[in-house]
Chain A
């Protein structure tokens, strides 16, 4: 299993540009998450999904959109990039919620908005 994969690894955007961060998992996990990590900080939840066709906002959803058309894929869309969105973005997945559930993380996408 490749686990959780993310593309691209790095990207530089100009203010106002748009882009989609891709996330794919091959573990047949129902739950998927997008987090952002600012320098020296912990991760904050942007959006999450509990299954295909179901998404919901996390702590910091403004400026982002997501979709979940398949179990495997959970892309994150930035519509009008702003410098405040400069961050490292991590996608994660887990099989289900519950006591023993474990989240697995992708390698991250490092985004700079200039």
Chain B
């Protein structure tokens, strides 16, 4: 059974710092790994999707990597801004129906 873990559960950094969020999964037979952002009381916004055949994806200041053999993905945020403050969720997709198994998220606070 797939289990997804995110560390740390919460992170506070000063504005401008580069940071890394971690995601680990127990079953390497995934189709993809998806990173989401969730603002308080809001829905999920898809940030990046990495296919199982890929090693990384980039969008602006965000870079996500995937290492299937070690069961890990990281989300790198460059030059963090207060507007980046949110909960970041990772989810592993797999199986015949692309069901997503979610981690419990990392709550990020970027201090001005």
* Chain A residues within CB distance 8 Å of chain B: 31, 33, 35, 40-45, 48, 50, 56, 58, 90, 92, 94, 96-108, 110
Contacts and interface: CB of A to CB of B under 8 A. Distances in A.
Contact of A43 (B49, B53, B95, B102): B102
B32 interface: yes
A63 to B, nearest CB: 19
Interface stretch (B14-22, B40-48, B67-75, B76-84): B40-48
B55 interface: no
B97 interface: yes
Contact of B97 (A40, A50, A99, A102): A50
B102 A44 contact: yes
22 contacts: A33-B99, A40-B104, A41-B104, A42-B103, A43-B89, A43-B100, A43-B102, A44-B102, A48-B99, A92-B100, A97-B95, A97-B97, A98-B98, A99-B51, A100-B49, A101-B32, A101-B93, A103-B93, A104-B46, A105-B44, A108-B43, A110-B41
Contact of B46 (A40, A43, A97, A103): A103
A100 B93 CA distance: 10
A15 B46 CA distance: 34
B63 interface: no
Nearest to A110: B41
Contacts of A102: 32, 34, 46, 49
A107 B93 CA distance: 21
A100 B32 contact: yes
A97 B30 CA distance: 11
